[in-house]
Structures are given as C-alpha cells and as structure tokens.
C-alpha cells in the first residue's frame, strides 16, 4: 500500500507536469496553467490594492523559479510601470537553464534610484510551449536582502548560462504594445553580482563569453 509520503510525491509530480513554470520568489500575482502564455503577466493584472507585494532589495535580491520543461531560456526584467505595460529594464542577459526543476538567480540588481518606488518584476520563459509569463508586484527597497527565501534553490546538476535569445528580445510588452527594453546597468557592469555567472569578455551586442562555474567545474562558454 502506498505511503502517504509517496502519494504526496505523486501528487506533486502530477501537479508539476501541468505547470509550465512557477515563480516562487518574489510572490507571483497569479498563476494560471492555461493562460500562462498571455503577456505580460500570464493573464493576470497587477493590482497593488489586492496583490501580495514583496519588498525587493535594489542592491541584491533573488528570483526563484521552477521549470517543468527539460530546458528553458529565461528573461528577468523589471519596470516602474505598475500596469506592466512597458518600460522594461532587463535585469540580466537571457539565461539558459539546461535542466528541469528549481532555479534561483541570486544577486539580482535593479537601479538603486528605484528604491522607494513600486514596480513589477517579470519573468518570461521561452521553452517548448512558447513564451510564458509571470509577474510579481514589488516595493523596491534600498540595500541588500539579508536572508534567502527557502524557495531559493537550484536543482541538483543545474547548469545555467547566459545566452542570446531573439524570441525574448523581441517579446511584446503587452498583447498590443511593443517592448522597450534597456540594459539595467549597461553591458559589463553589475553582472558579476549574478552569483557564479561571470562575464569575461564583451562584444557590443554580438559576441558574449561567460565563465560559468557549475559544481566546482569552470566552463568557458562562448556565444555568437
Ligand atoms: C503572500 O505570500 C506569502 C509568501 O509567499 C504567503 O505566505 C501568503 O499566504 C500570501 N498571501 C496571499 C494573500 O496570497
Ligand atoms: C521608466 O523607467 C525609468 C527608469 O528606468 C523611470 O525613470 C521612468 O519614470 C519610467 N517611466 C514610466 C512611465 O514608468
Ligand atoms: C543557482 O545557479 C546559478 C548559476 O550557476 C547561480 O548563479 C545561483 O547563485 C545558484 N543559486 C543558488 C541558490 O545557489
Ligand atoms: Cu509547459
């Protein structure tokens, strides 16, 4: 007879096969498996009077996601536009995750001048089901987060590398509008805050190379 624990695991497995991806931190404004493909927030509308609002530290904080697709490319971005209709700032280059499961990017930096203002953190995933969206309503606060949420974990064997993603760089900011996307801190600055992802060489918009430290092994990744 299956134990309670096994049933719980089965239940979790069944659940996660239906969820394209989950935004664990900062808290999502809503998740709908069927409508996660609806830009800009997976069919949900930001509403600061009802949403669960997270304090997000401008100098260093985390974004925790969980993918049920075997491989995915992520875009992490933010805006002071509380309608999430545009004015996006990319927080990192696109990140390619080469495994299914939990992924937490630490050391996310947003412009320090945003402290004291409300805004939206957006996560976009490009994977087998196309572009999928989640948003979090946040208060940008000064300083660095001094605690890591328990949801901030990496699946064993995770590899994550910066990449280029044409689908993500041309995503619409809304169903009808066009995206205005700018680099958060400029190419080559602030990116070392991204934990083990370290840039070693930059091109204008073309060639990027990154040193990626994965489980102690260092790999040089060169991308066209
Ligand atoms: C808000 O988010 C926190 C942390 O994830 C959670 O514990 C709480 O239940 C949420 N509240 C609502 C109303 O969703
Ligand atoms: C757009 O973002 C910039 C900061 O990146 C901010 O100064 C400006 O107020 C924003 N505009 C709108 C309309 O949200
Ligand atoms: C997860 O892996 C990425 C890429 O290697 C790294 O930057 C990040 O700090 C890791 N997250 C945790 C919680 O260790
Ligand atoms: Cu899916």
Express each pLDDT in 44-53 by its tens digit: 999 999 999 9
Mean residue pLDDT across the chain: 77
Q: Report every protein residue that has its C-beta within 5 angstroms of ion ligand 4.
A: 20, 129
* 190, 196 contact by CB (below 8 A): no
Q: What is the pLDDT of residue 19?
A: 81
Residues 102, 81: Cα–Cα separation, whole Å: 28
Residues 19, 132: Cα–Cα separation, whole Å: 11
More confident residue, 10 or 150: 150
Q: Whose CA is nearest to atom 14 of ligand 1?
A: 52
Ligand 2 center from residue 76 Cα (angstroms): 17
Q: What is the pLDDT of residue 222?
A: 33
Q: What are phi and psi of 47, to 5 degrees?
A: -145, 105
Instruction: Note down the domain range covering 53.
Output: 4-223
Ligand 1 center from residue 33 Cα (angstroms): 19
Instruction: Write the pLDDT tens digit of every residue in 120-137.
Output: 999 999 999 999 999 999
Ligand 1 center from residue 23 Cα (angstroms): 13
* 145, 61 contact by CB (below 8 A): yes
Residue with tokens 């801190």: 185
Ligand nearest to the backbone CA of 21 = 4
Q: What is the pLDDT of residue 188?
A: 31
Residues 146, 224: Cα–Cα separation, whole Å: 37
Instruction: Write the pLDDT tens digit of every residue in 150-199.
Output: 999 999 999 999 998 877 876 654 433 333 333 333 333 233 323 333 33
For residue 89 and ligand 2, the question of a CB distance below 6 A is answered with yes
Query: Number of structural domains, the chain?
Result: 1
Residues 11, 48: Cα–Cα separation, whole Å: 33
| pLDDT above 50 for 9 | no
Instruction: Supply 189's token pair.
Output: 């600055």
Instruction: Supply 15's token pair.
Output: 């659940």
Q: What is the pLDDT of residue 86?
A: 95
What's the distance, CA 170 to chain centroid? Answer: 17
């Amino acid at each position: 007879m299956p134990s309670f624990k096994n049933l719980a695991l089965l239940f979790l497995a069944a659940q996660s096969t239906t969820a394209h991806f989950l935004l664990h931190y900062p808290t999502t404004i809503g998740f709908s498996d069927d409508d996660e493909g609806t830009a800009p927030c997976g069919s949900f509308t930001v509403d600061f009077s009802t949403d669960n609002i997270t304090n997000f530290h401008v100098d260093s904080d985390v974004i925790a996601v969980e993918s049920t697709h075997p491989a995915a490319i992520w875009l992490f971005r933010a805006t002071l536009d509380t309608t999430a209709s545009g004015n996006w700032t990319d927080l990192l280059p696109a990140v390619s995750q080469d495994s299914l499961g939990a992924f937490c990017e630490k050391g996310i930096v947003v412009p320090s001048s945003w402290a004291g203002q409300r805004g939206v953190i957006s996560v976009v995933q490009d994977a087998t089901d196309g572009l999928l969206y989640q948003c979090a309503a946040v208060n940008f606060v000064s300083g660095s987060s001094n605690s890591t949420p328990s949801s901030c974990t990496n699946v064993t064997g995770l590899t994550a590398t910066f990449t280029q993603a044409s689908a993500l760089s041309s995503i619409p900011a809304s169903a009808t509008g066009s995206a205005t996307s700018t680099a958060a801190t400029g190419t080559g600055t602030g990116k070392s805050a991204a934990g083990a992802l370290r840039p070693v060489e930059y091109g204008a918009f073309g060639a990027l190379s990154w040193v990626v430290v994965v489980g102690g092994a260092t790999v040089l990744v060169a991308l066209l």
